[in-house]
């Protein structure tokens, strides 16, 4: 496989639920792109999902991707849980509706055209692009709080 696009994503919400932001750093060789956004009334998990969704949707063509997230919710959801949720009609094993099913479906659609390796990285552990994605998410929250940004 050719060189992969390496994506680091992060999302957050303060308080949770509350004003949320997401950020992503996309790197392909020497090329770097940073994206961010947020929502005024959301949760941490929704922002973690949005970071991955927006990053993958921003790719202009099918790519080999290594997507690094500090969210076990996102990594385990996409690599393990969604197959079972789909078999269960988007219900949990406890017969409850899957939380954030709208975003899980959107993420599933965003992944279809790419060859993705999902990697968990420890948050706030000095991984430069993960730290930068966190800064972008925090900036998106600050922008929303200041009324400077529109929600995505």
- Please state the residue numbers annotated as binding site: 10, 48, 70, 134
Cα-flanking dihedrals φ and ψ of residue 12, to 5°? -160, 170
Active-site annotation holder among 23, 38, 39, 134 = 134
Is 124 in the active site? yes
Torsion of CA 2, 54, 12, 73, to 10 degrees: -60
Binding site residue list for Mg(2+): 10, 48, 70, 134
Residues 6+ apart with CB under 8 A from 106: 53
Is 143 in the active site? no
Active-site annotation holder among 57, 102, 119, 124 = 124
Is 3 in the active site? no
Parallel/antiparallel/unpaired status of strands 31-42 and 115-120: unpaired
Active-site annotation holder among 11, 12, 21, 37 = 11
Is 129 in the active site? no
Is 102 in the active site? no
Is 115 in the active site? no
């Amino acid at each position: 496989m050719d060189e992969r696009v390496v994506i680091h994503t992060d999302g957050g919400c303060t308080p949770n639920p509350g004003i949320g932001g997401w950020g992503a750093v996309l790197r392909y060789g020497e090329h770097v792109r940073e994206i961010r956004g947020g929502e005024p009334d959301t949760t941490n998990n929704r922002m973690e999902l949005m970071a991955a969704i927006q990053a993958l949707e921003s790719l202009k063509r099918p790519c080999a991707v290594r997507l690094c997230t500090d969210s076990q919710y996102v990594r385990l959801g996409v690599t393990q849980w969604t197959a079972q949720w789909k078999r269960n009609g988007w219900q949990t094993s406890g017969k409850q509706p899957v939380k954030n099913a709208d975003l899980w479906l959107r993420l599933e659609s965003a992944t279809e055209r790419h060859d993705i390796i999902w990697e968990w990285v420890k948050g706030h552990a000095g991984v430069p692009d993960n730290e930068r994605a966190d800064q972008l998410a925090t900036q998106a929250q600050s922008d929303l709080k200041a009324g400077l940004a529109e929600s995505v």
